[in-house]
Chain A
């Protein structure tokens, strides 16, 4: 009977069902959380709450902390200059000490953006439930786990009970068939999908990504896709684990080792949507139709192919006009050839070693345009060390790029890394909201290759015309 029922389950439901402790009154599920990440910005009030209630952390070994959101990306060995940031980071250290939590803080070789370090340390594993007080927790779904962002009250709940009360979301499957054109990356796939489905198109859903174009991506590419699930409103996205997943995890610090790894891998290989599994919504896209993407507006759904024009104003809402006014763009025009002032390569979307290798390969022997400020911010200390070991840092410096220390940096401008008012920044991050990269900053989201090419040209270019 059990086997029969399992015949038609989605990957999402297999994992969800395995973590439901019971159903509470009103139909909410008590969901057990395997892994919990915390950082300095969304955790202090949760610890305060624990103190007020006289509670400890229920399962301290299942929570890992890092400092990433407001840390400087220069001179991390020195005390943080900005007083409030320093206070917040110090508070995290104090809270982790008081409650007995593992902290990969500033100066630790594992420190980095929470969604970069989880996977690279092997803390992220298929079949798990994972949460963090950060909406880009969806990144971890690339490994075939249920990972989603939560608010601070929920951070407190997980610290206190290792559980959350959740209503099961609806399921969506997005299948991308076929093969990508040269110069088109995972980032372009997800910007293309969000442009098609809009910034609210996934709200209420958990998304499974499938199809040949997804399957042929590296783990880094899959993380980029799942990372931006939230930008269409979906709580999370996930991809069934396969041999790419298994080989990525082998020998990672916190992955099971030896026989235990083989046993875990055997379980991971059972994690996929059954052929008869039903989704509430299905979307199909053709990889061949995807081109390098750029955003022209102030939400990630406002994206176009690089050779397309911004939509005309006809039939658009007042918010569309407000958005273009903020960006200084005209309805109906192209972005090709527009000057850029800043280039930001980093964030939990695109700061992994593969992103840095791609950028290095492209900029090697070239020079950035004189007027452009180009920042490369690695996702973690491990990515930074690997880049240096491969000599990528020299390539970046020789090309005029500023290679910095790890953190969230200019993705949200909580530290000094801000884009000035009115300046244009082509960015590999995930949000082009008004003021996201600094008050008045104008953000154009794109892939690492498009960002690198635009840094060299000093203007927005189609990277496909520059590939050998």
Chain B
């Protein structure tokens, strides 16, 4: 996983609530067996017509907007557990998603892939949308060490929560698996103690 400490970037506004992972990456594009290339189909059906031509009204097709930060309405990432949603955002170049509320599985998937979910109050989210409206190239700074997001033009700042362990992993680029592999003897001891739980799934 790539390390993340801080970024300064303009932001892409998506003021829609309950953006589900089927919108982020529709199921029919989940057939790849690698993690790369999903960015091409990010928000596929909002972004393109059935004939493949771009839908001009969609924000990703508007060259005036851009940046590594996506700002979306509440309950972002609900629905399917597909990690492809996090891969698609990351592959497209997004490094931070800001919302007033994230779905659990998406939040976890994002954190496992170096994509930072920044949860702010509804009023601050509104301020971000206003700042982008006032200046499409408005810059924002996200500092993971400090756990802050700053609207650079106004100087307004908010802090965001993050699990201390996840923060440490993001900053250092660590994966959970490194830690879990390091405690294998604890896992084996636990299995010895708790034998009654486990039966083979394969018929003898």
Contact = CB atoms under 8 A, between A and B. Distances in A.
Interface of A: 18, 21-22, 24-28, 30, 32, 34-35, 41-42, 44-45, 48-49, 53, 55, 58, 61-64, 69-70, 84-85, 87-88, 91, 102, 123, 127-128, 133-135, 137, 149-154, 156-157, 160-165, 167, 169, 199-200, 203-204, 230, 233, 235, 253-254, 256, 267, 299, 301, 317-319, 322, 412-414, 421, 431, 433-436, 439-440
A21 B20 contact: no
Given A413-B28, A414-B27, A435 B22 contact: yes
Given A21-B186, A48-B33, A28 B165 contact: yes
B200 interface: yes
Given A25-B168, A233-B75, 7 more contacts: A135-B80, A199-B78, A200-B78, A230-B79, A301-B18, A412-B27, A434-B45
Contacts of B81: 42, 133-135, 137, 149-151
A209 to B, nearest CB: 19
Contact of A149 (B35, B84, B105): B105
Interface string B180-202: 11011011001100101111111
B141 to A, nearest CB: 25
Contact of B105 (A21, A87, A151, A164): A151
A440 B27 CA distance: 13
Contacts of B155: none
A431 B15 CA distance: 22
B109 A414 contact: no
Contact of B15 (A48, A84, A200, A318): A318
B50 interface: yes
Interface centre among B27, B74, B179, B191 (most CB of A within 10 A): B27
Contact of A203 (B30, B75, B202, B203): B75
A63 B147 CA distance: 38
B163 A28 contact: yes
B31 A84 contact: yes
A162 B79 contact: no
Contacts of B15: 318
Contact of A26 (B163, B183, B203): B163
Contacts of A299: 18, 20, 78
A396 B173 CA distance: 55
B197 A151 contact: no
B165 A27 contact: yes
Interface centre among B20, B45, B200, B203 (most CB of A within 10 A): B20
B26 A45 contact: no
Interface in B30-44: 30-35
A418 to B, nearest CB: 8
Interface string B95-135: 00000010111001100110000000000000000000000
B68 interface: no
Interface centre among B22, B50, B109 (most CB of A within 10 A): B22
A435 B45 CA distance: 8
A63 B18 CA distance: 33
B142 interface: no
B82 interface: yes
Contacts of B183: 21-22, 30
A322 B16 contact: yes
Contacts, number: 208
Interface centre among B105, B168, B203 (most CB of A within 10 A): B105
B106 to A, nearest CB: 9
B13 interface: no
A254 B199 contact: yes
A435 B24 CA distance: 11
A317 B104 CA distance: 23
B33 A91 contact: yes
B139 to A, nearest CB: 26
* Cβ-closest 7 pairs across A and B: A26-B165, A151-B83, A44-B33, A84-B31, A151-B109, A149-B81, A135-B81
Given A21-B187, A127-B197, A200-B75, A160 B181 contact: yes
A154 B81 CA distance: 11
A164 B197 CA distance: 17
B66 interface: no
B199 A433 contact: no
Nearest to A43: B33
Given A26-B165, A61-B201, A85 B101 contact: no
11 contacts: A25-B164, A26-B164, A35-B201, A44-B34, A45-B34, A135-B80, A149-B105, A151-B83, A256-B199, A317-B73, A433-B22
A34 B78 contact: no
B113 A153 contact: yes
B149 interface: no
A254 B177 contact: no
Contacts of B16: 318-319, 322
B50 A439 contact: yes
